[in-house]
Amino acid sequence: MSTKTEQGNFYEDFAIGQEIVHATPRTVTEGDVALYTALYGSRFALSSAETFARSMGLERMPADSLLAFHLVFGKTVPDVSLNAVANLGYAGGVFGTPVYPGDTITTTSTVIGLKPNSSGKNGNVYVRSVGRNQDGEVVLDYVRWVMVNRREPVAPDAIGEKQVPELPGAVAAEDLVVPFDLPNGYGEELQQLAGSRHLWDDYEVGEKIDHVDGMTIEESDHMLATRLYQNTAKVHFNQFVQKDTKIGRRLIYGGHVISLARALSFNGLANAQTIAAINAGTHANPTFAGDTIHAWSEVLEKIELPGRTDVGALRVRLVATKDLPCADFPYKGEDGKYLPNVVLDLDLTVLIPRR
């Protein structure tokens, strides 16, 4: 019997240098922006208010940085991670031109590394993915790696060679894109509207911030969000398949946790209006429906931007936990391994106005 359906790529289908043009361009709508707010409750003023965006030199309100991330990511799933065990991490992510309602996003990926696992059942696939708008402008360029099942298990002596790429480090200041201007400064009125008077100058390297609030993940929220991004990974949707795995349950899409943690970070980082880079990231432990997400941040670096005195960058570690408040800043144990309730360790660069 012939079939015209696609089963997605398995580990053995990937090759170094392979280029993939992902299907289904995605036009961003006002509805997408509204749904994103409904799902996460993000309160950053730049992506919440048209008037605030214009006060920062933009013609209109951009979509949240992470909505752009999810839309670019979602395009890659049918070709890269449909048969994934888990998405593992990120590096070298640079946000470019802002995404606005009406923009159409397309994504391409290049396979840059392969690492077979000794079990012979799966392996890690490293890809560099680039999302562009209808004018060919880059909206996001990043590296991620994902554990992908093999079509059939192989013997240990047939797993193949390891070709792990050298991952990029933190994105340099000169490579950060600042999408806004402050033609009239960032005075008390904008600070009040943004929800905080704490600007770039007020943060110190090594400072840790408990974002206090928690948000419980509902199965319906996760399912709606993942469909919104057209992310088709079986591990998130197909309980019939997942019941026979070691975990036995559907996994929450890691990006869903990223957006929850970012939304929670408003309480303490309200003026971090946009994300300029994802320097590195790890999904440390799985998350499931019913888990309550908390978050804390640590300031890793204060960055002065070339030619800019109106805005600076903070490199921050954003850590998310499940069912564990963050007053004690939980992270890793004495053995260097993540504590079991730590689900996300994300190294971000955010942009904050200066005094």
CA distances from 311 to 9, 61, 256, 285, 350 (A): 43, 18, 28, 35, 10
Please give the average per-residue pLDDT across 53-76, as a whole number. 96
Asked whether the beta carbons of 110 and 92 are under 8 A apart, the reply is: no
Helix, strand or coil for residue 39?
helix
> Largest Cα–Cα distance in the chain?
69
Helix, strand or coil for residue 139?
strand
27-63 pLDDT per residue, tens = 999 999 999 999 999 999 999 999 999 999 998 999 9
Token pair listed for 111: 């396979």
Judge whether residue 266 has pLDDT over 70: yes
186-217 pLDDT per residue, tens = 999 999 999 999 999 999 999 999 999 999 99
133-164 pLDDT per residue, tens = 999 999 999 999 999 999 999 998 899 999 99
pLDDT of 245 reads: 86
Where do we find the tokens 């013997």?
Answer: 155
Nearest Cα neighbor of 249 from 283, 281, 211, 291 is 291
Token pair listed for 271: 């003026």
73 contact partners, CB below 8 Å, separation of at least 6: 129, 144, 229, 231, 255
Please give the average per-residue pLDDT across 122-133, as a whole number. 98
Judge whether residue 1 has pLDDT over 60: no
If you average pLDDT over every residue of the chain, what do you get?
A: 96
308-346 pLDDT per residue, tens = 999 999 999 999 999 999 999 999 999 999 999 999 999
* Rounded Cα–Cα distance for residues 293 and 213 (Å): 9
CA angle 188/190/196 to nearest 5° reads: 75
pLDDT band at 86 (very low <50, low <70, confident <90, very high): confident
* Rounded Cα–Cα distance for residues 161 and 294 (Å): 40
pLDDT of 235 reads: 85
pLDDT of 246 reads: 85
pLDDT of 104 reads: 98
Q: Is the dihedral angle over the CA atoms 238, 116, 22, 71 positive or is it negative?
A: positive
Please give the average per-residue pLDDT across 19-26, as a whole number. 97
